[in-house]
Amino acid sequence: MKTNVNIENYRKLVQTYIDLHVYNAALFWADKVVALTGNPKDVYWLAQCMYLLKQYHRAAHLLRSKNLHKSNFTCCYLTARCLYEASELSEALKLLDTFEPYMFIAKDNMGFTSEYDIKFVDETSKNQAYASYLLLRGKVFEAMDNRGLAADCYKQALVADVHCYEAFESLIKYQMLTAAEEEELLACLPISQECSTEEAEILLTLYESKLKKYQTPSLPRPNESKILYGNSNSMPNNKLLSSLNLTTHTSYSPMIPTSISTPAVTRNNDKNIVKSNEPRKPKTTPMDTSSNTRLMKLKNSLDLQVAEAERLYYNCDYQACNLLTEAILKMDPYHDACLPIHISCQVELKQSNKLFTLAHNLVDLYPNLAISWFAVGCYYYIIGKSDLARRYLSKATALDRLFGPAWLAYGHSFAIENEHDQAMAAYFKASQLMRGCHLPLLYIGLECGLTNNVNLAEKFFQQAQNIAPDDPFIMHEKGVIAFQNSQYETAEKHFREALERVKIIKKGIIPLKWCPLLNNLGHTCRKLKNYDDALEFHNKALLLSPQSANTYSAIAFVNVLKNNYDEAVEWFHKALGLKRDDTFSTTMLNYVIEQLTEEKSPYQDCPTEIPKYNIESKTATTNNSQSVAESSSLGVQRDNTEMSDMSMSIEGSGPTT
């Protein structure tokens, strides 16, 4: 009796086991299907099962033994992918070169036609196929340390398929482009041609949220603000947290990005929230309403929440950032994009206990990820054990050599111990890997300034400013260099420019991070003899950090220059109360007290001269009685002599007339 084998059932069986991630069973039945049919499509799925089982050499050998890598693009791509995963980069690049870009010819930026018969296993879009080809080619170049060609391939992949997020992420995540180049790339993408109006708005919002945020303090972009805060940019962060079904701590009221964190403002914020809940007529058009509705559906996207947390972090709003990252990690405890921001925020806030727990959990669960050992290194960094910090940060860079935060923290571990050469070596390595990031150049310039190499520091600061022209940190460091060169007017200009950049997003009291900026402005104004402005800036710095002994001594010194010795003594005493071994305050306090003793009377209406007393001596009235009473009055004369000596000492102690 003759029976027919239904091959389609076995093929469906292979697909089912692949979907269920039972790869060994899928491989078993895929091998039997190939034995029964020998169809190139079945051979491809057999190689796909091998790839999923990480049998890369076996899969590549299978496809090349059937010569499918020469006749079928999908098989060629899978073969190159296997060779890339097996670290055979030269073979992978050689194979990719067999399908040159001219085989895909663009047509009106909408699709691709081909001069040759580009065969696919399934109905794969040629746009996506070409984008995947360029993406893999870029990864091969990146693995070969040719980051320039890799960046070009990623850009071409995005132009071929604007939805190829992995190419966009590779450009953004590994700092291949500057902020200006990122904006230019986003502007030249054919989004409007490949997407509808609604899809284009969503795609632009998502891509814009991933752009750099540390080149200058910034507010949320318009579409991003609509998603996160509704129709108002000034919605408080507890509104954002409530959308995540989480509450804030009672001991801290989240700050509005453009507000002052004081009890009065908190009360006003509560009133504004109540008012905002009152019904009112919308002023938007139907088109705007439908657009807002579409965007509001993205509120639950954690990627947008992470982007907002990153913006808060680079705005130095660490408390609000920490609250937001904690909320995100409660929903997704191991969000790979949120963890670096959360760890960095804990370093800034010196939360060593929380970081210790997080680092242990990450090492237990993901010992092969760089972020786990980065967390361990950061923990040892904030508790002051730099040697251990360097050990684990070095391990993080070994696991992922492109992980920029680990390289920067590695350099910081040297810089905190004044090991300037080793710190600069780490920063130079970071600058090579993070071409579009200005922070390594900024830190190199900072180390040069600490070694009194002022000219070289200025060059690095200028290079950093070419990448990020509006970064207030660069302006501040340029002001410090100008101050060291006694160029006080130039220093004041840089400091004031930095302060204006910070005040763009902070109306009122600026973050604590900028306390040195205010003090440096005070020092500069003191050098320029603008004592009133100097006191104003030092007092503002004192509001940010009330326990800073340096700020107290700076205020006291300005009062000395204004001849306000009484106030100076009071401020120096406050400084010494916080820092007893402050040499400057001790020396200046002694000087001021000496000045007061010379210029000020010890009490009111104190005479300027000691009174002079005249003591009259008794003389003998008769010469006869002198001889008779000589022997009997000898003791009295001795007493008178002693009194005369005493009176002379009093006179001698007073001023001469």
> How confident is the model over 617-621, as a mean pLDDT?
48
pLDDT: which is higher, 431 or 261: 431
**Element of type H or E holding 105:** strand 105-107
pLDDT: which is higher, 641 or 303: 303
Tell me what pLDDT residue 98 has: 82
Tell me what pLDDT residue 511 has: 86
Both 82 and 118 in one domain: the answer is yes
Both 96 and 61 in one domain: the answer is yes
> Residue 538 and residue 515: Cα distance in Å, rounded?
9
176 inside domain: yes
Tell me what pLDDT residue 122 has: 58
> Residue 325 and residue 244: Cα distance in Å, rounded?
11
586 inside domain: no
> Residue 544 and residue 566: Cα distance in Å, rounded?
25
Both 181 and 304 in one domain: the answer is no
68 inside domain: yes
The answer to whether residue 655 scores a pLDDT higher than 50 is no
Could you give the number of structural domains in the chain? 2
Both 45 and 158 in one domain: the answer is yes
Tell me what pLDDT residue 216 has: 67
550 inside domain: no
Q: How far is CA 597 from CA 54, 556, 589, in A?
A: 86, 18, 12
The answer to whether residue 630 scores a pLDDT higher than 60 is no
Tell me what pLDDT residue 369 has: 93
Both 90 and 165 in one domain: the answer is yes
> How confident is the model over 220-238, as a mean pLDDT?
51
The answer to whether residue 225 scores a pLDDT higher than 70 is no
> How confident is the model over 305-310, as a mean pLDDT?
90
Both 215 and 193 in one domain: the answer is no
The answer to whether residue 645 scores a pLDDT higher than 90 is no
Q: Which are the contacts of 268, defined by CB distance < 8 A and separation ≥ 6?
A: none
Distance of CA 92 to the CA centre of its chain: 37
pLDDT: which is higher, 236 or 7: 7
User: 374, 343 in Cβ contact below 8 A?
Assistant: yes
Tell me what pLDDT residue 112 has: 36
φ, ψ of residue 332 in degrees (nearest 5): -140, 90
Distance of CA 214 to the CA centre of its chain: 7
**Element of type H or E holding 113:** strand 111-113
In a 13 Å sphere around the CA of 81, the CA atoms on its Cβ side amount to 20
First to last CA, the chain: 148
Q: Is 226 exposed, middle or buried (0-12, 13-18, 19+ CB in 10 A)?
A: buried
The answer to whether residue 362 scores a pLDDT higher than 80 is yes
Both 203 and 215 in one domain: the answer is no
371 inside domain: no
Q: Which structure tokens are listed for 584?
A: 């400057």
In a 13 Å sphere around the CA of 329, the CA atoms on its Cβ side amount to 21
> Residue 478 and residue 484: Cα distance in Å, rounded?
10
φ, ψ of residue 436 in degrees (nearest 5): -90, 5
- DSSP 3-state of 205: helix
pLDDT digits (tens, 9 = 90+) for 493-539: 999 999 998 888 766 678 888 999 999 999 999 999 999 999 999 99
What is the length of the chain?
657
- Tell which of 192, 208, 224 closes a domain: 208
The answer to whether residue 487 scores a pLDDT higher than 70 is yes
- Tell which of 208, 231, 247 closes a domain: 208
Taking all residues of the chain, what is their mean pLDDT, rounded to a whole number? 79
Strands (E), 148-284: none
- Tell which of 332, 349, 366 closes a domain: 349
* Nearest CA among 537, 493, 535, 530 for reference residue 515: 537
> How confident is the model over 164-172, as a mean pLDDT?
92
DSSP category for residue 219: P
Both 52 and 153 in one domain: the answer is yes
> How confident is the model over 142-171, as a mean pLDDT?
92
500 inside domain: no
What is the percent of the chain with per-residue pLDDT over 70, rounded to a whole number?
Answer: 74
pLDDT: which is higher, 263 or 350: 350
Both 54 and 81 in one domain: the answer is yes
Nearest-10 crossing angle of helices 165-173, 147-160: 150
Q: Which are the contacts of 85, defined by CB distance < 8 A and separation ≥ 6?
A: 51, 54, 56
Both 40 and 148 in one domain: the answer is yes
Instruction: Please report, as a single letter, which amino acid is at residue 157.
Output: A
pLDDT digits (tens, 9 = 90+) for 577-592: 998 988 999 999 999 8
pLDDT digits (tens, 9 = 90+) for 178-221: 888 888 898 898 988 888 888 888 888 888 888 877 666 666 66
Q: Which structure tokens are listed for 353?
A: 């206990």
The answer to whether residue 364 scores a pLDDT higher than 60 is yes
> Residue 263 and residue 255: Cα distance in Å, rounded?
11
422 inside domain: no
pLDDT digits (tens, 9 = 90+) for 68-122: 888 888 899 999 999 999 999 999 999 988 876 545 544 444 333 343 345 555 5
> How confident is the model over 305-333, as a mean pLDDT?
91
pTM above 0.75, yes or no: yes
Q: Which are the contacts of 62, defined by CB distance < 8 A and separation ≥ 6?
A: 43, 46, 47, 50
Both 18 and 165 in one domain: the answer is yes
Tell me what pLDDT residue 504 has: 81
pLDDT digits (tens, 9 = 90+) for 424-476: 999 999 998 888 889 999 999 999 999 988 889 999 999 999 988 888 999 99
The answer to whether residue 254 scores a pLDDT higher than 50 is no
User: 52, 18 in Cβ contact below 8 A?
Assistant: yes
- Determine the structural domain holding residue 219 and report its residue range: 211-261+292-349
pLDDT digits (tens, 9 = 90+) for 320-360: 999 999 999 999 999 999 999 999 999 999 999 999 999 99
Both 113 and 70 in one domain: the answer is yes
Tell me what pLDDT residue 301 has: 81
Tell me what pLDDT residue 295 has: 63
Tell me what pLDDT residue 97 has: 87
200 inside domain: yes
Tell me what pLDDT residue 602 has: 67
At residue 229 the predicted structure's pLDDT band, cuts being 50, 70 and 90, is low
> Residue 155 and residue 161: Cα distance in Å, rounded?
10
The answer to whether residue 649 scores a pLDDT higher than 70 is no
Whichever domain contains 25, its CATH number is: 1.25.40.10
